[in-house]
Structure 1
Amino acid sequence: MTTVQPNSRKVVRKLSKPISSIKPADFVSALARGLEIIRLFSLDTPRITTSDAANLTGLSRAAARRFLLTLSELGYLRNENDMFEPQPKLLELGYAYLSTWNFPQLVTPYLRQVVDQLQENCSLAVLDGADVIYIARAEARRIVQSITISVGTRVPAPVSALGRVLLAHQPSEVVDALLHQRGLQAATPRTITDPLLFRQKLDAVNKQGFALVDGEFEEGLISIAVPVFGESGKIVAAINVGAPESRATPELMLERYLPALQDAAKEISRLIKISGKQPNPL
C-alpha cells in the first residue's frame, strides 16, 4: 500500500488558472479544486488521506475533506477510515474523451513519447494475413531506411520485428498456413529462410517477449518490437523502433530501446482495456 507521507517535504500543486480570455467571474474555483483532488491519485499514490490532499493542494484540511467526502458521496471515491481511493466510476470522466477518438489517435501520443526519448521512429502495426499493416506511427524526422513507411504500409510479416512478435503469439496452425502459402522470401542475404530455424526464432520471441531483427528486413537496419495485449490478454498489435546500424547496435537496442518500448506497450494495453477500442487493419 502506497500513500503520501504526511511528514515528507510539502509539494503543493498549483491550482489551475483561467485560460484564454475567460472572465474571472466565469471561472468556477470549486470545480477546479475538485479536479485537482482527483488528479492527486496515480499508480504511485493509489490512496490518500485528508492530510495528504491538504498538503498537496494547499487547501485547508477542512476544505480538502469536504471535496473528498463529496467525491465519495458521488461514487467516484471510496472512504475507509479517512483513507480515500478511486472507484471504477471515475473512469467515466475519461471515457467521454476516449470515445471521441479512433484507435490510432489514442495511441500516437504514446508512440511520440518513445520518439522523444529515443529520437527514432516508432510504429504500431497489426497482423493482416501474411503481412503486417502499419496503423499508427510517430516520426523523429531522421532517415532510418530507404523503404518509405507510413500509416497503411504493408510488409511481409516474417521479415520484420513487428511481424515476428505478432506471429510468435499465433497458434501453430496459423504459422504453418503462412509458411505453406507464401514461404519465407529473402529480403536480404541475412533473412532467415529455413522454416525450422524460423519456427525456433518465433519460439524464442514468444519466451523473451520481444523480437530483434538485424539486417533481415533491410541491410543496415536494426529493429526491435514488443507485443501489445488486449483486454482478454491476447496479442492485438505490436510496436517497434528501427534505427540504422550507424546509430544502434543489438546491445543498445536491448539496453535502451527495449525498456522504452515495453513501457509504451504497457500503457497502450492499459488504454485498450479502459477504452474498449481495438486496433484493426485500415
Structure 2
Amino acid sequence: MSKQEQGKHDDDQVMIKSSEIVQSLLKGLLVIQAFNQHRPTMTLSEVATATGYTRAAARRFLLTLVSEGYAKQEGKLFSLTVKILNLGFSYLASQDVWQNAKPLMQQLVEQLNESCSAAVLEGEDVVYVGRVATTKRIMSVSLNVGTRLPAFATSLGRVLLADMTDKALNDFLTTCRVKQYTAFTLTNKAELKTEISRVNQQGYSLVEQELELGLTSISVPVRNQAGKVLGALSISTHISQTMKQQILTTILPALKVCAGAIEQLTY
C-alpha cells in the first residue's frame, strides 16, 4: 500500500472519544432493549427498574419513543410497536449476503425437509438474520429473524465462538451466564471450552437436546473471502425423526454445500 493510500485509509478510521458519545442515545437504546420476550409490556416503574434510570428519565425516553411511533401506551402499560423492526431490517438490508442467501437456504430446506437458519453473534446470544422453516414445529418457541438464543447452548453459537481468539473466548466464558436448560445442557465452562475447540478443529457443531428436549441442531460457519466467519448456518431437527448418523452423513454434507454457495456470494 502506498503512503497516499495509507493516508486515505487512516482518514477513514474514526477514533471514538468519550466526549463525542451521545449518552442520551445510549440510554434510549437501553430502554428499547429492556423490552423482550419475557417483558413485552411494562409500566413506567418497571422500565425504570429494568434500566436503573429514575422514573422521570424513563418517562422522557418512553414518551419520545411513543411520539415517534416506536412504542405505544395503553393505560399504564408501555410496549414496542412493529415500527421498531425497521431498526433491525435496516441492518439486514445492508447485509446483501443474507438477503441473497435466502433462495439457497430455501433449496436446502426443500432438499432436506428440515428448517434452516443463519445467525450472527451479539453479546452472549446468537441473533437470527435468516430463517426458512418447514411446517414442522421443532421448538416450543417461534424462531424468526431477530430471535435471540444463548450462544453457549446452541450449535450456531459454538460455531461462532470457535472463530474467536483464545483471549476473546476466555473473556466470553468468564462473563457468560450459563443456565441448565435440560439435563443435557453443558454448563461446565472448562468443558465448554474443550467442546468449542473441537468445533474449531472439525468445522461443525452438533448440539443434541441441550436447549430443548428432543431438539438437535448442526451448524457450519459461513466465511468471507478473507476466511473470516460472517455467520453460521444451521439445520435443526427432532431427535426422534432424524438419527445422529443420518445428520452426519446426509444433512452435514448438504449444509456444507449450501454454506459454500453462500460464501460465493461474498466474492
Class of the TM-score when normalised by the shorter of the 2 chains: 0.5 to 0.7
C-alpha separation in 1, matches of 2:130 and 2:95:
13
Deviation per residue, 1:149-194 (Å, 9 max, x gap):
1000011100000000010111122222222222322221111111
Q: CA RMSD in A?
A: 1.6
Contact 1:230–1:269, Cα closer than 8 Å, also in 2: yes
User: Match for 2:167: what amino acid?
Assistant: E
2:104 aligned with 1:115, yes or no? no
User: Match for 2:100: what amino acid?
Assistant: L
State the match for 2:211 in structure 1: 217
Partner secondary structure for residue 265 of structure 2: helix
User: Match for 2:97: what amino acid?
Assistant: F
What displacement does 1:104 show? Answer: 2.9
State the match for 1:189 in structure 2: 183
Residues 100-109 or 264-273, more deviating:
100-109
* Residues matched between the structures, number: 175
2:119 aligned with 1:103, yes or no? no
- TM-score, normalised to structure 2, is 0.63
C-alpha separation in 1, matches of 2:252 and 2:99:
23
What displacement does 1:137 show? Answer: 0.8
Contact 1:114–1:122, Cα closer than 8 Å, also in 2: yes
Instruction: Decide which structure has the larger Cα Rg and report it.
Output: 1
C-alpha separation in 1, matches of 2:103 and 2:226:
23
- Could you tell me the percent identity over the aligned residues? 35
State the match for 2:199 in structure 1: 205
2:163 aligned with 1:169, yes or no? yes
Contact 1:222–1:249, Cα closer than 8 Å, also in 2: no
User: Match for 2:211: what amino acid?
Assistant: F
Partner secondary structure for residue 107 of structure 1: helix
State the match for 1:157 in structure 2: 151
Contact 1:160–1:217, Cα closer than 8 Å, also in 2: yes
State the match for 2:239 in structure 1: 245
2:136 aligned with 1:142, yes or no? yes
State the match for 1:261 in structure 2: 255
C-alpha separation in 1, matches of 2:193 and 2:129:
26
C-alpha separation in 2, matches of 1:269 and 1:102:
12
What displacement does 1:102 show? Answer: 3.4
C-alpha separation in 2, matches of 1:187 and 1:121:
22
Contact 2:222–2:231, Cα closer than 8 Å, also in 1: yes
C-alpha separation in 1, matches of 2:235 and 2:245:
14
Of 114, 121, 125, the residue aligned with 1:127 is: 121
Deviation per residue, 1:111-141 (Å, 9 max, x gap):
1111011101001101112111000111112
Contact 1:121–1:242, Cα closer than 8 Å, also in 2: yes
Unaligned runs of 5+ in 1: 1-98, 274-282
Q: Call closer, same or farther: CA 1:221–1:100 in 2, change over 3 Å.
A: closer
User: Match for 1:135: what amino acid?
Assistant: V
C-alpha separation in 1, matches of 2:187 and 2:118:
25
Partner secondary structure for residue 204 of structure 1: helix
C-alpha separation in 2, matches of 1:134 and 1:266:
19
C-alpha separation in 2, matches of 1:131 and 1:176:
16
Contact 1:228–1:239, Cα closer than 8 Å, also in 2: yes
Unaligned runs of 5+ in 2: 1-92
C-alpha separation in 1, matches of 2:160 and 2:250:
22
C-alpha separation in 2, matches of 1:101 and 1:177:
28
Contact 2:97–2:262, Cα closer than 8 Å, also in 1: no
C-alpha separation in 1, matches of 2:233 and 2:103:
13
User: Match for 1:132: what amino acid?
Assistant: V
